[in-house]
Amino acid sequence: MTQQESIKIWVDGSADATDTAQRLFKSKKFNHSLFFLHLALEKILKAVFINKFDSAPPYTHDLVILAEKCQLDISNDQKSQLSEISEFNVSARYEDYKYRMYKKATEVYTTQWFKIAADLLDIFNKEIKDE
């Protein structure tokens, strides 16, 4: 598989995860939609990594680690946002965390994180297009 084919697979996967997140949001399944927001960001960061290094991306779900491995110039606020979004991944996998996320993931909270994730997705997509 070529580098461009690999990048396309991850970019398409990110777009699909974003679409799923939006559909879950419309269904008011906010905690699940947040999990897919995390997945969309994870996949786009893995595409950025492949784009920069022509190598398989790291095996991690931690968005801060992925951004660092991509050598992205992001602000401390953006690192903090990625750290918070990384929690959406853990929260979807373990019942005790899932319950806490379910209580936390109100429509207002989820809407806020959708806006933040959209900004981050734009930044990371531009990293691929700018190379």
Q: Model-level pTM?
A: 0.93
Question: Mind listing the pLDDT tens digit for each residue in 45-96?
Answer: 999 999 999 999 999 999 999 999 999 999 999 999 999 999 888 655 667 7
Distances in whole angstroms, Cα of residue 32 to Cα of each of 18, 43, 47, 71: 12, 17, 23, 29
Question: Mind listing the pLDDT tens digit for each residue in 1-42?
Answer: 899 999 999 999 999 999 999 999 999 999 999 999 999 999
Return the CA Rg of the chain.
14
* pLDDT at site 85: 95
- Sketch out the chain's domains with CATH numbers: 3-130 (1.20.120.330)
